[in-house]
Structures are given as structure tokens and as C-alpha cells.
Amino acid sequence: MLVTISKRLSDIIDALPLKEGMRVLEIGCGPGSAAREVNKRIGKSGYILAIDRSAKAIQQAIANSQAEIALGNLDFQQVAIEQFALPSGQPLFDLVFAVRVGALDGRHPEAGKLAIQQIREILKRDGSLFIDGTEYNLS
């Protein structure tokens, strides 16, 4: 099934400083459109993990991404960013991005505090955080 992305989402992805081989986390991936596009841009040596708190969204993302998942550099996980933790021994992320995620866009300030704490734990010191297309400095 061919799934296209909106111009707004495409513009946000175009603005991300993506490079071959990056490790990327997408927060609030929905049906996985942005994750698949980012996956194309970071190449076979890159890796993207896309998370969403919604089981239905993750089911859709997995169903729409079988070819990419089979290559081993795109994964999906059902978890809220507030509860997300990297498994022991996993490398930190180079870039984290989110689009229209309530915990990160001010709609849920308490969840936002927890989300930022978790992002600090999983993002490289020189890594980048983008929320709705804007870069944020966590230092």
C-alpha cells in the first residue's frame, strides 16, 4: 500500500539535518509516514526507531512498513516518550524529532517535563532535538 506524506510533514523532514548512518528517534510516529521517509534519507547504515503511545498507530505503521522493517534499520515500538528508555548497551540517538506530540508541544506540560528528561537520557551530547520543525537546545 503506497502511503504519501503531506507537504507540511515533508517540509519538516526536509529541514532535519539528516545524514547517512544517523541513529534517529521519531516520537509520535502515527502510521509511520515520516519514519519511512527518514529511513530513505539515512541509508542502509542508518537506523530509525519510531515510537507512539497508540497501539493502533503502531499496528498501522508496521503494516505499512514491512519492506523497510525487513531490512533491519527501521523499527516501531508502542511506548510513550515519558516511559521510553534505551535498552542497555544501545547507542544514543543522533537526532530526535516529533511532530504534533502533546507531551512536547505544550498541550501537556507535566508529561512534557518527563519527556524532556527521557530525551536527555537517549540523545548524544551533540545531538539534535526538533519539535514541530524547530530545533531545541537541551544543554
Residues 13-22: pLDDT tens digits? Answer: 999 999 999 9
Q: Which sequence spans correspond to the domains of the chain?
A: 12-100+130-136
For 7, counting Cβ atoms within 10 Å of its Cβ (0-12 exposed, 13-18 middle, 19+ buried), the class is exposed
Whole-number pLDDT of residue 3: 57
For 111, counting Cβ atoms within 10 Å of its Cβ (0-12 exposed, 13-18 middle, 19+ buried), the class is middle
Q: Are 64 and 31 in contact (CB under 8 A)?
A: yes
pLDDT at 124 over 90: yes
Give me the chain's average pLDDT, please. 93
pLDDT at 103 over 70: yes
Whole-number pLDDT of residue 138: 83
Q: Which residues touch 69 (CB under 8 Å, ≥6 apart)? A: 62, 75, 76
34-92 pLDDT, tens digit each:
999 999 999 999 999 999 999 999 999 999 999 999 999 999 999 999 999 998 999 99
pLDDT at 1 over 60: no
* Dist CA 40 CA 38 (whole Å): 5
Helix axes 33-42, 7-15, angle to 10 degrees: 40
Whole-number pLDDT of residue 24: 98
Domain 12-100+130-136 belongs to what topology? Rossmann fold (3.40.50)
Task: Specify the length of the chain in residues.
Answer: 139
% of the chain with per-residue pLDDT over 70: 97
Q: How much is the pTM?
A: 0.94
